[in-house]
Structure 1
Amino acid sequence: MNCKYFGECGACKVYEGGYEHQLALKLELNQERFLPFYSGDISVFESPHTHYRSRSEFKIWHDGETLYYAMNHIDKKGIVFIDECPQVSRPISVLMPKLLKAVKERNIGFKLFGVDFLSSKGGEIAVSLLYHRALDNEWRELASEIAAELNIYIIGRSRGQKIVIGQDFVTEILNVDGEEFRFNYIENSFTQPNSQVNEQMIAWALKNLFRADTDLLELYCGAGNFTIPFAKKFRKVLATEISKSSINAAKSNMLLNDVHNIEFVRMGVEEFVQALDGVREFNRMKDIDLKLYNINTIFVDPPRSGMDEDTCKFAARYENIIYISCNPETLARDLAILCQTHTVCDMALFDQFPYTHHAEMGVKLTRKGL
């Protein structure tokens, strides 16, 4: 990827030597980091070199009557005006100058301070316009004109306000091993930012799941990104997530894919363990008979903070563990606990965030002595 803002814009921090060099650095770093736990080959899954982000956020900077997209400077001192970004998906890239022009022409830029883009591979786009002022009917009318002109959805946000023009989500179609899965991605909620790498992560995890007439437990299920494809491989899936909005999205996505063998439970890990062990009863679990589940595989995809010690020990109850991590540092910390009882038998690096130090890792573990 060639970008005229390399060295200035803080979005990309590792760019010298090109894509292959930055990827090689990530692999070398993580091979060394995980050597105490695994000495085999780490499979590497590349990202497209450009136009890979389906979710992007930009500041809006006002210079007199002129509006600019802006990003933080790489040295964290000040900002950089930009008029293009080769990271973002092609639909977003094409839309960016048109949107700014339309905002200026309709004169709805007053106290606009940010723009968030969310796109699907098919070109659907939801744009969130963020304001430091209340939005009125005149704003709604003018924003509706822009939405119709550019064939996009617009969400206006200010303190205590959310105005939706069209809808507040896009529908993404993921192709995993020749099978299509549909997901409604809602603005202002977490979605995987790199769709192509996301497809590779799901395919890798599916390949490494232990197929049997058993059931799967998933922690941190989010909106069902992994859960729904996994349901094709197990008799039943029990999936937990603490976020109410994510659970609601997961249930909606399950129906969108005509999947019916998943139970989604809004519950943190600590509470779930208490329910599983019969320590406490929860109304949220009253319709779920845990005795009917035969679980020997657990899948976890925690936030950047990873899993705490108690959660690691809970995961270690199961014969097979698949762990997807967006933070190799906390993954290494957790493996120090998990590898007391389990052996790492496969690892993968997914280049979800090119031109940065970040990498997504996948780990397959089996209990020692099996």
Structure 2
Amino acid sequence: MNCKYFGICGACIVYEGGYEAGLLQKVELNRELFTPFYTDEISLFKSPSSHYRSRSEFKIWHEGEESIHYAMNRADKNGVLLIGECPQVSSAIFTLMPKLLKAIKREKIDFKLFGADFLSSSSGEIVVSLLYHRTLDSTWKETTEKIADELGIYIIGRSRGQKVIIKQDYVTEILHVNGDEFRFNYIENSFTQPNSQVNEQMIGWALKSLQNTDADLLELYCGAGNFTIPFAKKFRKVLATEISKSSINAAKTNMLLNSVDNIAFVRMAVEEFVEALDGVRVFNRMKDIDINSYEIKSIFVDPPRSGMDEATCRFASRYENIIYISCNPQTLARDLELLTKTHKVIDMALFDQFPYTHHAEMGVKLIKKI
């Protein structure tokens, strides 16, 4: 990726030698970190070297009353850098950025505008969230509807306590995994995987890791069903938990989009779910689920950056097969200290979701020791 802001913009901090050099550095760091648990080759799944981000956030910077710019934090943390383009973002977002800024200024809707967040699909659908320090009135809405029609996009206006939707607040992504097609509604301001092509590879690896199992699957931290729905094609039944109400609602919508009917989504914290599973407490949210009808041998977890706590690791250790996807190698290594007391790591993968940074997504497959 050629970027005129390398070394100045804080978004990309590993850029010397290009994409391959940064990736090699990332691989070596993680190979060393996980050597106590796994000494075979770590499978590597690369990202495109540019136009890989399907979601991105920019500041809007005002210079006097006449001009506005996109801006990012500087790498030296000394203020902001005004930018005209960003080759990280998807081709659709890249093309839209200057057109949108020009339309915003032309139509005079830039007053107290301080941010623009972009969400795109692989087919080029885009939702843009415009963030304001003022109340948005009917005039703003009428003007912004005209811009949305002109540019062929969806727009969300946000200010304190206010969300104004122009057309719709989601894009529909189509993922292609191992010859299958999966459809997902990605909702503005909710978590989605930022790198669609690496996400497809990640789902493919997880499916392959569970291909020789039978019975049912339990998933913790299921989000909007990114993994759950593909898993449903491989298992008799899937039981999936997530604490976020909006994510659970999105997951149920995505289940319908894919004509899947063998998933039970439950809005519950992991601690509550363990209590329900063990009969310690009765939860109304579980009233329609017959826990005794599940034969669970495999568990899939994709926790937040903080990883899993000790109690959740102990719970996961009950099952024969554990698939762990982690966005934080440090907390994954911490959790493996506990999980490898009962399980053996038989496969690891590195997914380069975040090129030109030190961040990596890791995948681990563990099986119970005999």
Class of the TM-score when normalised by the shorter of the 2 chains: over 0.9
RMSD across aligned C-alpha pairs, in angstroms? Answer: 0.5
Secondary structure of 1:57's aligned partner:
strand
Structure 1 residues not aligned, in runs of 5+: none
Residue 75 (structure 1) shift? 1.5
- 2:276 paired with 1:271: no
The match for 1:331 is 332
Report the Cα distance in structure 2 between the residues aligned to 1:306 and 1:341, rounded to whole angstroms. Answer: 18
Q: Mark the CA change 1:70 to 1:168 in structure 2 (over 3 Å): closer, same or farther.
A: same
**Shift, 1:183, TM fit:** 0.1
For 1:178 and 1:215, the matched residues in 2 are separated by 23
Equivalent position SS for 1:255: helix
**Does the 8 A contact of 1:211 with 1:234 survive in 2?**
no
| Amino acid in structure 2 at the alignment position of 1:11 | A
1:179 match:
180
Give the 3-state SS of the residue equivalent to 1:280 in structure 2: coil
| Structure 2: distance between partners of 1:2 and 1:216 | 43
Q: Which residue of 2 aligns with 1:46?
A: 46
CA distance in 1, matches of 2:143, 2:23: 45
- Write the letter of the residue equivalent to 2:180: E
Q: Is the 8 A contact 1:173 1:183 kept in 2?
A: yes
The structural deviation recorded for 1:211 is 3.6
Moved over 4 A (4+): none
Q: Give the structure 1 partner of residue 98 of structure 2.
A: 97
Which residue pairs with 2:28 in the alignment?
A: 28
Separation (CA, whole Å) in 1 of partners of 2:319 and 2:46: 31
Cα distance in 1 for residues equivalent to 2:77 and 2:237: 48
> Following TM superposition, by how much is the alpha carbon of 1:77 offset from its aligned partner in structure 2, in angstroms?
1.6
Q: Distance in 1 between matches of 2:119 and 2:100?
A: 14
Cα deviation, 1:64-117, whole Å, max 9, x if unaligned, reads 121000000001120000000000000000000000000000000000000000
CA–CA distance in 2 between the matches of 1:238 and 1:229? 13
Percent identical residues:
76
**CA-CA distance at 1:178 after TM superposition:** 1.1
Cα separation, 1, equivalents of 2:348 and 2:214: 25
SS at match of 1:118: strand
CA distance in structure 2 between the aligned counterparts of 1:213 and 1:341, rounded to whole angstroms? 21
* Separation (CA, whole Å) in 2 of partners of 1:141 and 1:68: 23
TM-score (norm 2): 0.99
Contact 1:211 1:233 in 2 (8 A): no
Q: 1:51-130, aligned counterparts within 5 Å?
A: 51-64=51-64, 65-130=66-131
205-214 or 279-288: bigger deviation:
205-214
Q: Secondary structure at the match of 2:111?
A: coil
Spell out the pairing of 1:1-370 with structure 2 (5 A cutoff). Answer: 1-64=1-64, 65-369=66-370
Q: Deviations over 1:12-42 (max 9, x none)?
A: 0000010000000000000000000000000
Superimposed CA distance per residue, residues 103-155 of structure 1 (whole angstroms, 9 cap, x where no aligned partner): 00000000000000000000000000000000001000110010000000000
Following the alignment from structure 1 to structure 2, what is the Cα–Cα distance between the partners of residues 252 and 133?
A: 33
Secondary structure in 1 aligned to 2:47?
Answer: coil
Q: Give 1:210 shift.
A: 4.4
Letter in 2 for 1:39: T
How far residue 203 of structure 1 moved from its aligned partner, in angstroms, is: 0.1
SS in 1 for 2:251: helix
Query: Equivalent residue of 1:48, what SS?
Result: coil
Equivalent pairs, count:
369
Letter in 2 for 1:75: D
**TM-score, normalised via structure 1 length:** 0.99
What is the distance in 2 between the residues matched to 1:363 and 1:31? Answer: 13
Residue 26 of structure 1 aligns with an amino acid whose one-letter code is K
